[in-house]
Amino acid sequence: TQLLEQSPQFLSIQEGENLTVYCNSSSVFSSLQWYRQEPGEGPVLLVTVVTGGEVKKLKRLTFQFGDARKDSSLHITAAQPGDTGLYLCAGAGGNNRLAFGKGNQVVVIP
Amino acid sequence: DTGVSQNPRHKITKRGQNVTFRCDPISEHNRLYWYRQTLGQGPEFLTYFQNEAQLEKSRLLSDRFSAERPKGSFSTLEIQRTEQGDSAMYLCASSPGWGPYNEKLFFGSGTQLSVL
């Protein structure tokens, strides 16, 4: 089983602050995705990273894939209330399906 | 919008009853997945289809659970003799395939099941 651990589980910050959340595993993944989920809805794909060391930016969100392809981080600059949500990382290994972590619950206070 | 559609959005049932959920994936996607999510947890894999073939089932999927995708398009997930522990959000997702940059899922809004 490919276990993905996300930390911190819960993070509350003021609008305008920066934050970083992490996704770690002992397994190597061929790719890793980040999703955001809002209450009562399904997860929505934000980004896919494939190459070790890869950095992708999506507006104020910066995603990094570890050199060994075992971990990833998500950094949000100048967080906005609209960034509130559950951020899920999901890894693809050799078993033709994605395994999800438990998520990072982010709350941005206006 | 031709995203993934799930019905019903909410289902309340009594313990012991059978329930069936439907998922309509994005039309050109040949892979369809079912996941289950409980409060405070990430989605847990249940099963997936490549076209009409069910290729993998999780050990989480007891004999009371059955999924079908008869024509390789929509899918149904049936739970027989529901138990309170079945209460969860049941998520369906579709994917264009597998391989770098294709290992991404497009989720529906889910069916929230409450077993009383």
Bond preceding residue B8 cis, omega within 30 of 0 = yes
Residue of A nearest to B107 (CA): A42
Rounded to 5 degrees, what angle do the CA atoms B75, B38, B54 make?
Answer: 25
Is B104–A95 a contact, with Cβ atoms under 8 angstroms apart? no
Task: State in Å, rounded, how far the first CA of chain A is from the last one.
Answer: 39
Query: Closest to A99 (Cβ–Cβ): which among B45, B98, B100?
Result: B45
Q: Give the model confidence (pLDDT) of A21-75 as tens digits.
A: 999 999 888 889 999 999 989 999 999 998 899 999 999 999 999 999 999 999 9
At A98 the pLDDT is 86
Residues from chain A contacting residue B53 (CB–CB below 8 Å):
none
Q: Give the model confidence (pLDDT) of B8-46 as tens digits.
A: 999 999 999 999 999 999 998 989 999 999 998 999 999
Residues from chain B contacting residue A95 (CB–CB below 8 Å):
56
- The chain-wide mean pLDDT, for chain B, equals 92
Instruction: Write the DSSP assignment of A31-82 as a string of letters.
Output: EEEEEEE-TTS--EEEEEE-STT-EEEETTEEEEE-TTSSEEEEEESS--GG
Q: Give the model confidence (pLDDT) of B73-109 as tens digits.
A: 999 999 999 999 999 999 999 988 766 666 778 999 9
Query: Closest to B42 (Cβ–Cβ): which among A30, A48, A102?
Result: A102
| Cβ neighbours around A85 below 10 Å, total | 20
Q: Quick one: tokens of B93? A: 């997702």
